[in-house]
Structure formats: C-alpha cells, structure tokens
Amino acid sequence: MEDVNLLVLATQYMFWVGFVGMAAGTLYFLVERNSLAPEYRSTATVAALVTFVAAIHYYFMKQAVGESGLLSEIDGFPTEIRYIDWLVTTPLLLIKFPLLLGLKGGKGRSLLTKLVIADIIMIIGGYIGESSINLAGGFTQLGLWAYVVGCIAWFYIIYLLFTNVTKAAEDKPAPIRKALLQMRLFILIGWAIYPVGYAVTLFAPGIEVQLVRELIYNFADLINKVGFGLIAFFAVKTMSATQKLKST
C-alpha cells in the first residue's frame, strides 16, 4: 500500500489555503469598499477583482494534485489554469500604480501600457517555457530562453517602477507615497519568488521538484495578491479618514 507523501499533502493543503485566502480577501475588500472616499473606491474594487479571479482559479486548481496525499494520483500540474490566472490578475495588480498616482490622460495610459505589455511578455514567456519543462520532465533549451525573456520583461517592469513611478510619487501625500514605495517592493521581492520556482524545475528534474514549484507559486500568489491589495487599501483608507476629519 502506498504511503502518504508529506510533500504532496502539503501542496494539496496549500491550494486550499490559497483558495480560502483569496476568497477572504475578496470579501474584505468588498465589505470595506464603502468606507472609502468615492474617489478611492476603485482601488478596493481592483483589489477585489484580483483576489476574486484568483479564488476561482484556485478552486479548480486545488484538485490538480489529488486529494489523498498520494504521489501516484498526480497526473499533471495546473500550468494552463495558473498562467490564465496570471494573465488576468497581474495586469490588474499593475493598474494600481497609475490609480494611486492619480495619473489620467496620456501619462496614465503611457505608463499602464508599458507595464501591461512587459507583463504579458513575461507571462507568455513563462508559460511557453514551463510547458516545455513539464513535457520534458526537466531542462529544455526552450525553457531556458523563455526564462531569460521573462526575466528581462520583469526587470523592465522594475525599471519603470523605480524610475517613472518613484518620480511621480514624490509630490503625493505621505500615505500614498509610502504605499507606492512598498508596492514596488512586492514587484521586486515578492515577484522574485516566481522565477525561483521556475528555476527549480528548470535545473532539477523530477515530479517532487515540480511539487516544490507549485508550493512556491501558491505561497507567492497569496502574499502578492492579498498583501499587495491590503497595502493599497490601507493607504486610501488613511486618505479617506484624513478627508473626513478635514470636512468636519
């Protein structure tokens, strides 16, 4: 009789944690949305959209590695669903930068366009490379070059955030400026977890290594989507409270 594999079991539970965490985040953002000043409510709306879309995808992904902790139950990984999720949610995350900056017109569109195009290149490159790795069970040349392309796109996003966004944030109120600087770190440090997970399977073959990748991705998703949204939310919550005090 096959013994329960603790790594498989941990991965299964982490998919459930991801689903519950995203659902809870969605509920929180929606319930608290009306506590914000009208001009800031879109920030909570976008945060709720991100976690709602992720919750739906995690609901379907949670059965991808079975339910009983057995290695023999695994017949694949939810790569397609995961990358569809990222293709929808990561641009929504990046929208929060021009939203908090209050950029409108040409400046807002220009920044958002650059961020989203780089993000799409990063996601598509990652999907092509990871699919190749999954099929081969380990290292492939396509996987390596797709990894390089994805990392270049990610570095460009970081460049935009640490130049254009940082400069635009200089004259913003302290809560907004602080949130923007913290959100940059999510893209720099939080998003760094994803290439680490990718590299694990690129350079070390085996199904258990792929399970480690899924664990890394699940942990990163929860931190980056819920945590990122909370940083932006509490910034506009502070701004709303300040406006309320001034009006009274």
- pLDDT tens for 77-119 read 899 999 999 999 999 999 989 888 876 666 778 888 999 999 9
How many Å apart are CA 77 and CA 140, to the nearest integer?
18
Q: Of 91, 5, 3, 22, whose CA–CA distance to 62 is shortest?
A: 22
Neighbours of 248 (CB within 10 A): 5
pLDDT of amino acid 75: 76
Determine the Cα–Cα distance for residues 15 and 26; give it in Å rounded to an integer: 17
- Give pLDDT, residue 145: 97
Q: Where are the domains of the chain?
A: 6-242
Helix (H, G, I), strand (E, B) or coil at 139: coil
Report pLDDT for 208.
Answer: 87
Integer Cα distance of 101 and 164 in angstroms: 11
Asked whether 214 and 193 are in contact (CB, 8 A), the reply is: no
> CA 116 → CA 73, 80, 199, distances in Å?
37, 20, 23
What is the structure's pLDDT at 248? Answer: 62
CATH 1.20.1070.10 fits 6-242, yes or no: yes
Question: How would you write the pLDDT of the chain (248 residues) with one tens digit per residue?
Answer: 677 888 888 999 999 999 999 999 999 999 999 999 998 999 999 999 999 999 999 999 988 887 777 787 787 789 999 999 999 999 999 998 988 887 666 677 888 899 999 999 999 999 999 999 988 888 899 999 999 999 999 999 999 999 989 898 888 888 989 999 899 999 999 999 999 999 988 888 888 888 899 999 999 999 999 999 999 999 999 988 887 777 66
